[in-house]
Every structure is written in structure tokens, then in C-alpha cells.
Structure 1
């Protein structure tokens, strides 16, 4: 067994002084294994979603508590969760998956305020934060707080209500978790229904196809109503004309509850890729050290170039697999 691993990972006379894994036939085998593994993971996630699929440790109660913690630390009153805003957030999340977009405004021009009004929430001020691809609530709130514009929404003194939706679906061919946070302050003619945290559940929805998202780094706040193009991203007082809306009865609606899969496909894929790349970096480093130490002459080389390439791959994986906010 020891000789097997030496032959596989370490330059030795048994492998012509080049680790067996660095030989062309071994590299071809590794590539084939990766293609087969990717096909197997994709097939398993579609056939057995309860075993392999996207999952997260994000809950409404955690998002609410962390949001209010940031507000309290900055001398602001806590927000109360509102069922109408949560319904609006849920509708917005479903619409994003259905119409295949990743933006505050739909391709058809539907704004966040349309979802809020449709949910029966009569507002004076309103705002929206979006996030996707995160695995826990703390990282979501930290990302919002690290962005000046999202932070402005979280710490705005104009809001007294908030609603959340946590849903999963397919965006750009990738399973992801989508988080919608909607803020609001109701008009005096409306008494917004509050809900208890006992009614909240993290949720997921059925997979739907998605197109390439429209990227932006800004959250949105309700603009002043105008006949011409509205100036988004500017917080302005707005008087909504919906009045005396009947109260919504029932529990908080945020999607269809679903037991999370046993294995998180996103983390599994990322970890396997990082392990494989790290292994090649280790092998190339060992090869470089031993060949120089033993002064072995050979025609192949460029280990430093290969190591730098694999380090770049790790950086790219870390960047493109982390959560995104808009």
C-alpha cells in the first residue's frame, strides 16, 4: 500500500520520477471521472431530491432577529414582521423564478411595489433587499450590512414592518436559495396584521427554469410616483391609495414547506472540486521540491505555472460560489 501511494503521489524510480497522477493517462482518467461524477450528481438530484439537493440553514426567525439586532445596535426600534409584506415577498420570489430574472424589476416592468400593493399592504415607505446563494442567515445579514445601500434599508428609521421569503429554485441552470426582504411603514388608515414567529417556516418551492440574471449591487426603495420614468434607488415618501383593505386571515404564506435534502449538492460539488484541486497543488509542489532536491533532469516541467493556475481556480470557485446580493 505504501508503494502504491508513493507511485501515485511522489516522484520515484517506479514512475519515471514523476507522480503517476501527473502522467497523461492518469489526467485523462481524472477528467473522465469528473464528467461521470457531474452526470451522476445531476441525475441523483433530479431523481432523488430528498437525498441530494440544495439546502440552507436560513430561517425567517433568524433573519428577523439579526436584522433587529443591527437596528438596536444603531439606536433604532426593532421591526415587526408583517404577514402582508411576507406574502408580497413570497409572490416576488415565485415571480423571479417563473419569469426567469434576478433583479428588482421584472422583464415586464413589474416593480416590488406592485407585489406589496397586491398583497394588500398600504404603505407610506417601502423597500426591498434581495440575496441568493447563501447557506446561513448570519452571512445574508452580514452581506446586506456590508453594502452601503442595503445597509441603508436595514437601518432606515422610516420602516416599522418587514416581511421575508426563503425559496429555492433553478437560476441560470444552478440550484440556489433566494431570499427576499421587504420593508414598509403602513398608512394611518391601515392596521397591519402582525404574526407570531411560531407560524414561520423556512420554505422551498419546486424547481423552475431561469435565464441569465441582471446583476446590480443596489437594493431598491419606493420612488416618488411620477408620470414619467421613476427614479429608483432613492427613498422618498409615497402615499399609497389602497385604503381600508380587509385583513388577511390564516397563517403566513411563504411557499410550500418541504423537508430539506440529506446532502447539500452545492456544498458537495464545491468541496469535491476544492479537494481535487488542492490535491494537485500538493502533488505538483512535492514534485517540484523533490526534483530540485535530487537534481533530476527531465523534459517536462512548468510546475510553478500549473500551481498558480490551480490557485487561481480555487479563488474563482470561492468567488463564484458565494452568496450574491442586489
Structure 2
């Protein structure tokens, strides 16, 4: 998805997710997919999936025997994002024993690059900086209001209390805003 800059179960070219599963050599009887993006922690992702009937069905479906999870940071439509892809599957035939001791090498994507996580998602960083800026403005406006009241200054225009109310509302919105999208 990140290489093709899209966010959907089906690619813009019409490629279904099952094509990628089959191309990886996994022959499935049943398959499912959950997608998430822009969440700051795994608990919120699982909570969002559990709140959606179709995603919850994938998580709890007893037919699925295997699971694969990928978490990647990248850009979609010029915006930095973190995506989570969760694939579920049941092989065409259940393997009851190991047939041989040889192990086939798994294919490795040429563009794959492992980068340690910074711990903060882009949304968390953006929200933190925005909140810090709003708090700074609230502080400056509060000082302005105190000086106006203390020294009985007369203003020709401007309503400090209106600006304080506006920026306090912005701070509240930044504190309660929910992040993340599931698909």
C-alpha cells in the first residue's frame, strides 16, 4: 500500500489482498484482512476493530489458523502515516506433521527496510506540538488580560476573553480528539 500510495482493501488497479497472499506462496481455504492507520498504540487498534462487527468477526473467527501482521510507517497522499495490516488464513490442507526437515527460504521484499520505532506516532507529535502552541497563546492572552485589568487599560478593539475562550476550546479539542482509522 505504501509503495503504491493507497489506503484500501483493493488497490487502485483492482488487485485484491488475496493476490498478495497467494503470491507469497500461501494456499488458503479461508482468508480475511483487517486494516488500521494512524493509531498511537496497539490497544486502541484492537478496541476499534472490536467495535466494528466485520473486523471483530475476523479477529474471533475460529476458522482462521494463521495470522500475519505488518506495521509500517510511510506516506499516503503526502501525509506521514503508520499502517497496520492484519491477515488471517486457513491453509487449504491442514498439516498434521512435518513432512520433511528442509526449510524453504521465504521471499524478502527488496524495498523492505527495518527502522526502529521512535515510540511516538506522527499524530501524537503533531497533536503535542499543536497543544503546546495553544497553551503558549493561552498563557500570553491570560497575561494580557491581567495587565489590562490591573492597569485599567482602555482598548479600542479586541476582546481578550473571546480569544481565551476560542483557544481554550481548541485545547480541549486537541485533548479529546481520537486518532486512527480502520478499514
Normalised-by-shorter TM-score class: 0.7 to 0.9
Q: 1:323 to 1:264 in 2, by over 3 A?
A: closer
More strand by share: 2
Quote how far apart the aligned CAs of 1:166 are.
1.3
Give the distance between the partners of 2:175 and 2:78, measured in 1 at CA.
17
Quote how far apart the aligned CAs of 1:275 are.
0.7
1:170 aligned counterpart, secondary structure = strand
Which one of 127, 132, 141 corresponds to residue 270 of structure 1? Answer: 127
Unpaired runs of 5+ residues, structure 1, are: 1-95, 193-246
Q: 1:287 to 1:252 in 2, by over 3 A?
A: farther
Asked if 1:303 corresponds to 2:157, the answer is no
Give the distance between the partners of 1:318 and 1:172, measured in 2 at CA.
25
Quote how far apart the aligned CAs of 1:295 are.
5.4
1:191 equivalent in structure 2: 95
2:82 equivalent in structure 1: 177
Q: 1:277 to 1:253 in 2, by over 3 A?
A: same
**What are the residue-to-residue correspondences of 1:1-326 with 2, within 5 Å?**
96-188=1-93, 191=95, 249-250=104-105, 255-260=112-117, 267-288=124-145, 291=148, 296-314=153-171, 315=173, 319=177, 322-326=179-183
When normalised by structure 2's length, the TM-score is 0.76
CA deviations on 1:191-233 (whole Å, 9 max, x unpaired) are 39xxxxxxxxxxxxxxxxxxxxxxxxxxxxxxxxxxxxxxxxx
- Greater shift, 162-171 or 282-291, is seen at 282-291
- Greater shift, 308-317 or 271-280, is seen at 308-317
Bigger relative CO (Cα 8 Å, ≥ 6 apart): 2
Q: 1:176 to 1:156 in 2, by over 3 A?
A: same
Give the distance between the partners of 2:119 and 2:63, measured in 1 at CA.
41
Contact 2:6 2:12 in 1 (8 A): yes
Unpaired runs of 5+ residues, structure 2, are: 97-101
When normalised by structure 1's length, the TM-score is 0.46
Q: 1:264 to 1:100 in 2, by over 3 A?
A: closer
